[in-house]
Amino acid sequence: MIRVNCSESDGHITHLEVRGHADYAAHGEDLVCAGVSSIMFGLCNALDEIAGIETIKADQNLITVHILKPDQTTDTIMRTGLIQLMTVEEQYSQFIKIQLTEE
């Protein structure tokens, strides 16, 4: 199961953490994992290239993004990624769960 934790503060997404494996298919053939990974690495690349955000950590089975000074640009990137993750969750809810919290 992929677990996504997203925190929002004062209307800004400030934290996004994705961990685990979907176990939808065999390793290397798991479309859910591949989709989530693509979304997250695209989000991280956009934050780095467009917003200059470098508070991103990627380890084995874990990607964490912290936005220390959120603005309209970071919100747009983070919300776009979250909407994409929610779209995956709509189709594959037994393999990915998203939890949203307000700080």
Q: Which of 14, 8, 63 is nearest to 41 (CA)?
A: 63
Q: Which of 6, 33, 44, 66 is catalytic?
A: 33
Beta strands 12-19 and 62-66: pairing type?
Answer: antiparallel
Quick one: tokens of 45?
């690349």
**Helical segments of 15-71, H only:** 31-46
Q: Does the annotation mark 21 as catalytic?
A: yes
Cβ-based neighbours of 59, under 8 Å, separated by 6 or more: none
Q: Does the annotation mark 33 as catalytic?
A: yes
Q: Which of 12, 15, 21, 66 is catalytic?
A: 21
Active site residues: 21, 33
